Amino acid sequence: MLLVETADTTTLSYWMNWRVLLCTIWVLTPMIVAAFIIWKYEGPKHPKSEREETEQDIDRFFSVEKAWRPCLEEIHPCWLLAFRIISFCFLLATLIGEVVIHGGGMFFYYTQWTFTLVTIYFGFGSLLSIYGCYQYDKMSGVTDSEQGSYMPLLYGDGINKSRMRKTLGSPEENSLLQTEAIWSHLFQVIFQINAGAVMLTDCIYWFIIFPFLTIKDYNMSFMTVNMHTLNAVLLLCDTALNCLPFPWFRIAYFVLWTGIFVIFQWIIHACVSIWWPYPFLDLSSPFAPLWYLAVALMHIPCYAIFALVVEIKHNLLSKWFPQSYQCLR
């Protein structure tokens, strides 16, 4: 890793200047806009009628199944479960190896923050897939009338929604469904944070740090390469298999994730004068505002790359498997 010595970051003069002011604007403004977007799209909703409440419950049901359903009907959920468990074990072993080699100080880096979140994603996804496999087996052996509130996911099927309106009604069912929907929603949010953060992490490392900022005797170890490639490869493979939506507004969570990391670094450096984990975070540089602005703007193409991958997946699989493709556009 790059250890860059800088000026004393605990002095008042380090923070009271025009560079820090501009960098603060570049960090806080996107975070405020992101918080507003999240409130607008995912804030508390107040249905006006019983019918609207029922429609919300139906949407929750279909949202829950997206967390563990593969994108094609021919693929059994157990295959997605197996992939997530293997990925989780591989990522966790890599993370433990990094902690053993470098200690807890490794979490000073954005790379390790993101890698840990990807590991959490696959661990969380494994649990949801286990639950989904149980529900899938429960559904497969019974008729619609015996399935209660659970029935196969057929996107765009008006008959299913009609039946759902009849089955969703008891307080117990709605309470359970709301709990499941909360966990499923959290899982989707983690997925989309990872999508942007993985692209940002790997792009910055391979296109900025590695070619231009390597120091003398820099050791390109297997673990270093692993940390900057494994996360993207496994997440892209999961994306190819899963049925999760990818709405653009959730870039807001990605922006907040990075903003929290930057503020975390500022707080630490304001208290202790230590090296910056990434040279472009150093606020003493006259180019700091340009670096901060560039990294902020990089969030858009990094998120767009992953969104493009998802769109290509939709286009190809919906054409190749029109009868069995289960993902909503």
For residue 213, the model assigns a pLDDT of: 54
Single-letter code of the amino acid located at 109: Y
Report the number of distinct structural domains present in the chain.
1
For residue 143, the model assigns a pLDDT of: 41
- Whether 48 is in a domain gets the answer no
Q: Whole domain around residue 286: which residue ranges?
A: 12-41+62-140+173-321
- Whether 284 is in a domain gets the answer yes
Determine which of 23-27, 46-50, 305-309 has the lowest per-residue pLDDT on average.
46-50
Single-letter code of the amino acid located at 285: S
- Whether 2 is in a domain gets the answer no
- The residue-averaged pLDDT of 14-41 equals 95
Question: Does residue 287 carry a pLDDT above 60?
Answer: yes
- Whether 326 is in a domain gets the answer no
Whats the size of the chain, residue-wise? 329
| Cα angle for residues 212, 117, 176 (degrees, 5° grid) | 155
- Whether 303 is in a domain gets the answer yes
The residue among 235 and 229 whose pLDDT is bigger is 235
- Whether 216 is in a domain gets the answer yes
- The residue-averaged pLDDT of 87-112 equals 90
pLDDT in tens, 52-79: 444 454 455 556 788 999 999 889 999 9
- The residue-averaged pLDDT of 18-47 equals 91
Listed in sequence order, the residues at least 6 apart from 25 whose beta carbon sits closer than 8 Å to its beta carbon are: none
Ranges of H-type helices in the chain: 12-15, 18-42, 50-66, 77-102, 110-140, 158-167, 171-204, 210-212, 222-227, 230-241, 251-271, 288-320
- Whether 195 is in a domain gets the answer yes
For residue 226, the model assigns a pLDDT of: 77
- Whether 145 is in a domain gets the answer no
Mean pLDDT rounded to a whole number for the chain: 82
